[in-house]
Structure 1
Amino acid sequence: MKQLSFILAVLISSMVWGQDYEYGKVTREQLTMESYSDDPEAEALVLYESGKAEIFEDYEGLRLYFTFKTRIKIFDKEGFDHATFEIPLYTNDSKTKTESLEFVRATSYNMDTPPTAIGDDDVLYEKYNSNYRIAKFTIPKTKEGTVFDVEYRVKTPFYFYNFHDWKFQSDIPKLYSQYITKIPANYKYNAKIIGALEFDEHTGDIERRCVEMNGGAADCEINKYVMKNIPAFKTEDYMTSKDNFISQLKYEIKETQNFHGVKQSYSKSWKDIDHEIKTSFDLGKQARKERAFSKLIPEHLASMPKGIDKAKAIYYHLQKEMNWNGENHILSDVNVKEAFENKKGNIAELNLVLLNMLKASDFEAYMVLAREREDGFPTLLYPVLTDFNYLFIKLVEDGKTYYLDISDDYLPFGMLPLKALNNYGRVIDFDNESYWDNIYMNSLSMQNIFMQYQIDSDGYMTVKKAEKNTGFLATRKRKVINKINQDSYLKQLEDDLSAHNNAVITSYKNSNAKDSDKQLQELFEIEYEDPFQEQQLFFNPLAGTLFSDNPFKLKERNYPVDFGYPRAYIYKIILKLDDAYQIKHLPENVTYNVGEALKLDFKTQQSNGMVTLDIAFYIKKAVFTPEEYQDLKKIFSEIVDITNNADIIIEKSE
C-alpha cells in the first residue's frame, strides 16, 4: 500500500483526457471476438473503462460530478450479470440533500440485429434503505457475443467528504481502465493505492482558477491514472476481504479551506482519537465502570486468588450468562450495566462487561477496536474511526497475551472468532497512547480421529470411531452438534458415509459438547448393511474425510493465504480382516514437508491380518505469503490424492 499526498505543484506533464473510444463506434473485430487470449476462461471482457470525478461550481454551488464510461464484451451466459448496472444514490438523514443521476445511455450491439438502446423507462429506482436508493438498468438483447456501451453521470452535493473511489480491477479482465480526478487546491485528500498492480500511466497538471466563489479563486490539480491489460481478480478459499487486495484508489478527506482562508482539518492524530474515545463516546465511559462491577462479581469468583485460572473463570461465567443480540454497535448505544442486568447486549456491551469485571479483579486488560474480516483491513496510515465495527478484549497476565470475546458460546478462552481475525486491532490504553497489535492465533487446533474397521467372513464391515477436536475445529463442530437435534445430526453423518456404502450409525455419544474449555469427544459405532461379495474389493477408508478437493487452483495467487488459525489433522486407521481375506495392495507412503510450517506424513503397514494407516497433516501457521502459494498448492494436492486414492485391495482367500 502506498500513499499519495495531493500537494499542489506545477507539473510539466500534459493531460490527455481520452483513449481510442467513442460511444457507438464498435468494431467488427470486437463483435466477432470469441475469447480473450490472456484469459480464455473469462466470461466477459472490459474493452474500455473510464471514470472522471470533478469538483466544480454550478448554479447550486460546489458539486462533485462523476462520469462513467465503459464498453464490455460478453463471451458466454455466465457473463450476463455484467449487463446489469446498479448505481447507489445517497440522501442525507435530514433529506435536504441527495445525489442524482444526471443522464444515462446504454446500447447493445450484435452481429445479427440492429443496435438496441435503453429508454428512460428502462431505468428503475428502488429504495435500498433510509439513506440509499438504487438506479438500476439492464442492457437489452444481451446474449453471447454482445458488445455494449454504457455512459452515465452522477451529481452529488457531498463533494468534499465522499470523493469517489475507483476500482481498476474486478472479477473480469480489462484491457484499459483510467481514472481522472479534478480537485480544487482547497480540498486535500489522503489517497490509498491498494493492490499489487502498477500504474501504466500517471500524469498530472494544474488548471488555473478552475473554481471561483465568493470573490475568491482556486487552482485545480488534475490527475490521470491508467492501467492496461488488467487481469481478473480471482477469489479463492482462505482469504480475508478481496477489498484488501483488489487494485483500486480510495480517498479520505484530510483538510478543507474556504475562500476566506479558514481551514478545517479532518485528519486527526491517534492522540486526538484517544481523547475523543475517552471523553466523547459511550465507549470510553462504559469501559471505565470497574468500580461498579467490583460489586457485581459473584462471590465464588471474587474469592479466587488472582491468576490465569481466575481470568478463565470470569470469562466462562460471562460467556454462559450473557447472550449476543447480533448487533455490532461500538461507538454508540453502549450501556454495560443495562446489558449485564438483561444478560444480553451488542458486541461492545458484552466484551466491555468482561473488561470491567477483569479490571475490577486487578487484571491488566484493554479494549481492542477491530474491523470484521469480510469488511477489509482497517486503515493504518491515519485514524479512521468508521473503519472499526468490532470490539474484543486484550488480557495481559504473567507476561502472556490473550485475546478474548464472550459473544460466541462455544469459543475457548484465548481465541477469537474467525470474523475478528483481520491482521490488526487498535488497543485503547486510557493511561497511555493507543497502539496497533498484530492479531494472530498461534495455538494449534487439532482433529484427532481413530477408526477401527473389521470385516467378517461374510463380508460385513463394522467400524468403531473416536474423534477428538480442540480449538477452532471443536468450536465449529460444537455449533453443528448444538444447532440441530442428535437424530438429524446422525442422519447427516449417515448420508455422508452412505455416499461410499450403505451405512447405519448404531451407537453414538459425545462429551463436552457445550463445554468450550474442554476437548470435544465423540464415539461412534457404525455398521455397513451391504456385505462385500466380490472376489476383489477396492476399499478406501479415507473416502469423504480430510480434503477431497484442492482449494488452491490458481496458476498464481498474489495475495496471502489466510487460514485464520494453525491446525493439525491426526488420523489412525486400523483394518482388521478375517482369515477369509488377504491384502493384495496398500497405498504408498508419502512424506512432504515445507520447512516447519507444512508437514504431511502418510504411512501404511501390514502385520498379522491387520493394516494400519497413519496420517499427520500439520499447518503450523495461519498466514502464508504469495511466494509460499505453490508449496501450499502442492501439499494440498498430495493430501487430496491420499484422501481420494488410498485404496486397499482386498481379495478373498482361495
Structure 2
Amino acid sequence: MKNIFTLLAVLFVCQITAAQDYKFGKVSKEELAETFNPLDSSASATYLYKYRKTFFEYDHDKGFQLITEVHERIKIYNQEGFDYATKAINLYKSGSHQEIARNLKAYTYNLVDGKIEDAKLKKDGIFKTEKSKYRNETKFTMPNIKEGSVVEYEYKIISPFYQNVDDFHFQHAIPIKKLEAEFQAPEYYNFKVNMKGFLQIRPKIENKRDKITFNNKSRTGQQGSVRTSFSSSDLEFTKKVSTYNLENIPALKDEPYVNNINNYRSSVKYELSYVKMPQSTIKYYSTTWEDVVKTIYKSSSFGSELNKSGYYEDDIDALISSVSDPKKRIALIFDFVKSRVKWNSYNSKYTSNGVRKAYKEQVGNVAEINLMLTSMLRYAGLEANPVLVSTRRNGIPLFPTREGYNYVISCVELPTGNVLLDATNKYGSPNVLPFRTLNWEGRIIKKDGTSSLVSLYPNENSKNSILMMASLTEEGDLEGSYRSVKTNHRALSYRERYNNADEDDFLEKLENNYDGLEVSDFKVSNAVELSKPVMESYKFFKESQADIIGDKIYFSPLFFLRSKENPFKLEKREFPVDFGYPSSTTYRITINIPEGYKVESIPEASALVLPDNLGMFKYILSQNASTIQLLIDTKMNSSIISPLYYDTLKAYFKQLIEKENEQIVLTKV
C-alpha cells in the first residue's frame, strides 16, 4: 500500500511539473495553495524552478566576458523556510576588475481570498556591501513573506574573470522540482568538466554556430573634403553548449560530523584548461596537480617570499644562538612568530602586502605569517616546507584546480616524523592545528617545486578527563565539585573560547549549557601555558537531578553530563563521519547518596567496541554503603569513519546513550 501511495505522489508531481509555466511572473494558484512537498513532507521550502545559464559574450572594448543569468522560484511552506526569502549574491573582485550584478527583479506572491497578490522588491530592500578586498555582496530580503508564499527573482552577473566559472550546484538543503542549467563556451576556451555527488547527471552536448560582428569606421580624403565610410565583418566560430534538465531532486540532508556538506553536493565544475584565440599561441592553465603547484610556487606572492630573510636574521640569530636541539629551535621560532605577527583573519595561499611589511607592521594574512615562519625555520637549518591546505569551509580539493587550496601552513621534517605548524593561532602548538585546517590532506611543496601529500589529521588523541564529586539530597538536588583536564585539540578549543570571551559571559553560557546549573568558585589553570593541559574547576548546585516516587529515588549517575540524543539520525549516510581529530573522554564520578537511603539496583557494567579499533566505550559502576563510583571511558580513535560503518556507528551511539541514561534506584532503609 505504501508503494502505491508513493507512486501516486510521483505521478501527481510529474503532472503538475509538466503543466507548469516557468516564465517569470507566471506563478499559479496551485503553487500558492500547496501546503507541503508531496515527495518530502519534511521540507520547509522547495525550489519550484531553478534556472542558470552561463555563457561568453563579446564586448568590443573588453573582449569576452562571462555572463550568468539566474532565475529562481521558491515555495515557502512554514516559518523555518523564511530564510529562503533572503538571497546573497557574491561578487568577486581583483584590483580594478570586479563582477557586477544587474537587472535584478523580484516579487513575493501570496494567495489572498482566492486571488494572487504580488509584492515587488524595492530598492530599499537591496543592500550592497564590501565583504573583503576580494568580495562584494548584493543581498536582498523579499517583502511580505508569509507561510505559503512563493518568491521569485532573476538577475544577471557580468564577470571579467572568464577563467573562473562558479560551480553548477544541482542539489540543495531543500528539494528541487524543476532544474534547468546551461553552459556555453566558444571554441577558443577549452574547459575540463569535473562532477561530484551521488546524482546521475548527464548533460546534453551540442555544437552550435555563432558569430561576432565587428563594425569598422574609416575616413578618406583631405581637409575640407573628408568622407567617412562604415563597414562590418563577421568572425564565425563554434560554441559548445551543455544543457542539464532535471526533475524532483531530493534534498541533501546535513548531519553532524560532516566536514563540509558541499563536498558531497551534486555539482559540476568547469575548469579552464587552455585558451587559443585566433592567430595567437595556446595559453595553458592548470590541468594537473603538478601544474597547479608550479603555478603557485612560481608566483611572486609565494615562492619568492620564502627566499627573503634579511628582515629577520638578526632577531632569529639572537633567539636561537645558544640552542642546537631541532625541536627546541622549532618551538622558539614558532612562539616568536605567534607573538610577533597577528593574523588579520584573511585566508590565502598568497601574500597580500608581503612578508617584510607583515613583519614590520606586525600583522598579516595566513600566507604572510606561515611563509615567514617557513623561511625562518629554513634559516635555522631545519628541513621546512610550505603545505598547501584547503580549509574545511573551502571543501576538499578533489580535482586539480588553482582554487582548490586557499591556505598554507608549515611543515618541518624530522627523523621522528613531520611537525605541522600554523602560527595564525596563538593557542596552537606543534601538530595541533586550528580546526579549520583539519581537512583530509595537504600538499607539501619542496624547494625544487615537487609536491607530495601529507595527512592533516593528528595521530594523538585529544583527551578530556573529568572528575566529579557530588552529593545527592533526598529532595533530588545535587551539589559538588567538578574538574576537567584537557589536552591537544580539546585544550586548543577551550582556550579559544575562554580567552576570547568575557568571563561572566563564559560562565553564563556554561550554566545555560547545563540548563540552569549554578556555578561558584570557578577557576581556569594554564589558560595560556600551552605546554601544559588546560584545567577547569568549579563548585556547582543543580536542582531536580532525580525523580522521587514514593520512598524511591531514580537518577542517572552522569546527571547533567549524560548524552540525551543520538547525533546520527539518517537511515542511510553516503558521506564519511568526520570527527576532526581522534579523542578520548574519561569520567570518574563519586556520588554520596542521601542519609537514610540504600542502593536497590544499579546498571550493570558494559563495554562496546567498534570494529577495526575505531572506538570503544566502557562503563563500570561500584558501590559501598553510602557511596557510588562511576567510571566511563570512551575513545574515538579515528578522525574519519567511512560510511560503510555508518549503521554500526549509529547503533553504537544508540547503545552508548541508552547506557548513560540507565538509572540507579535508591530506596529508604
| TM-score w.r.t. length of structure 2 | 0.82
Partner of 2:74: 72
1:390 aligned residue (392, 398, 407) = 407
Partner of 1:168: 170
Instruction: Spell out, residue by residue over 1:529-577, the C-alpha distance to the aligned partner (whole angstroms, 9 max, x if none).
Output: 9999964333334233253333323333322221110111111212234
Q: In 2, Cα distance between the equivalents of 1:509 and 1:448? A: 16
Partner of 1:555: 571
Mean CA deviation greater in 225-234 or 115-124? 115-124
Partner of 2:116: 115
Q: 1:78 to 1:577 in 2, by over 3 A?
A: closer
Q: 1:131 to 1:114 in 2, by over 3 A?
A: farther
Q: In 2, Cα distance between the equivalents of 1:533 and 1:248? A: 52
Secondary structure at the residue paired with 1:374?
coil
Partner of 1:188: 190
Mean CA deviation greater in 490-499 or 528-537? 528-537
Indicate conservation of the 8 Å contact 2:383/2:413, yes or no. yes
Q: 1:182 to 1:278 in 2, by over 3 A?
A: closer
Partner of 1:514: 528
Indicate conservation of the 8 Å contact 2:545/2:560, yes or no. no
Indicate conservation of the 8 Å contact 1:428/1:434, yes or no. yes
Indicate conservation of the 8 Å contact 1:72/1:147, yes or no. yes
Partner of 1:349: 368
Partner of 1:284: 303
Deviation for aligned residue 1:180 = 1.9
Deviation for aligned residue 1:294 = 5.2
Partner of 2:8: none
Deviation for aligned residue 1:351 = 2.4
Indicate conservation of the 8 Å contact 2:56/2:67, yes or no. yes
Residue 276 (structure 2) pairs with residue 260 (structure 1): no
How do residues 14-29 of structure 1 correspond to structure 2 at under 5 angstroms? 21-22=20-21, 23=23, 29=30
Partner of 1:4: none
Partner of 2:346: 327
1:152 aligned residue (148, 151, 154) = 154
Secondary structure at the residue paired with 1:544?
helix
Give the % identical residues: 26
Secondary structure at the residue paired with 2:374?
helix
Indicate conservation of the 8 Å contact 1:166/1:250, yes or no. yes
Partner of 1:239: 258
Partner of 1:439: 456
Partner of 2:13: none
How do residues 126-525 of structure 1 correspond to structure 2 at under 5 angstroms? 126-129=127-130, 142-147=145-150, 150=152, 152=154, 154=156, 156=158, 158=160, 160-163=162-165, 165-199=167-201, 201-209=202-210, 215-267=234-286, 274=293, 277-289=296-308, 293=312, 295-297=314-316, 301-320=320-339, 322-340=341-359, 343-378=362-397, 380-384=398-402, 386-454=403-471, 463-484=480-501, 493=510, 499=516, 503=518, 505=520, 507=521, 509-525=523-539
Residue 622 (structure 2) pairs with residue 605 (structure 1): yes
Instruction: Spell out, residue by residue over 1:227-256, the C-alpha distance to the aligned partner (whole angstroms, 9 max, x if none).
Output: 332111222322223322211222232222
How do residues 561-572 of structure 1 correspond to structure 2 at under 5 angstroms? 561-572=577-588
Deviation for aligned residue 1:41 = 1.0
Indicate conservation of the 8 Å contact 1:504/1:526, yes or no. yes
Gaps of 5+ in 2: 1-16, 215-232
Mean CA deviation greater in 526-535 or 345-354? 526-535
Indicate conservation of the 8 Å contact 2:463/2:583, yes or no. yes
Instruction: Spell out, residue by residue over 1:13-38, the C-alpha distance to the aligned partner (whole angstroms, 9 max, x if none).
Output: xxxxx975423665665444332233
Deviation for aligned residue 1:463 = 2.6
Secondary structure at the residue paired with 2:428?
coil
CA RMSD of aligned residues (A): 3.7
Deviation for aligned residue 1:176 = 2.4
Q: In 2, Cα distance between the equivalents of 1:117 and 1:532? A: 55
Q: 1:80 to 1:580 in 2, by over 3 A?
A: closer
Indicate conservation of the 8 Å contact 1:44/1:172, yes or no. yes
2:644 aligned residue (605, 627, 632) = 627
Deviation for aligned residue 1:420 = 1.0
Q: In 2, Cα distance between the equivalents of 1:604 and 1:232? A: 44
Amino acid at match of 1:574: T
| TM-score w.r.t. length of structure 1 | 0.84
Q: 1:174 to 1:530 in 2, by over 3 A?
A: closer
Gaps of 5+ in 1: 1-17
Mean CA deviation greater in 547-556 or 98-107? 98-107
Partner of 2:653: 636
Q: 1:274 to 1:160 in 2, by over 3 A?
A: closer
Q: In 2, Cα distance between the equivalents of 1:456 and 1:80? A: 47
Secondary structure at the residue paired with 1:547?
coil
Partner of 2:220: none
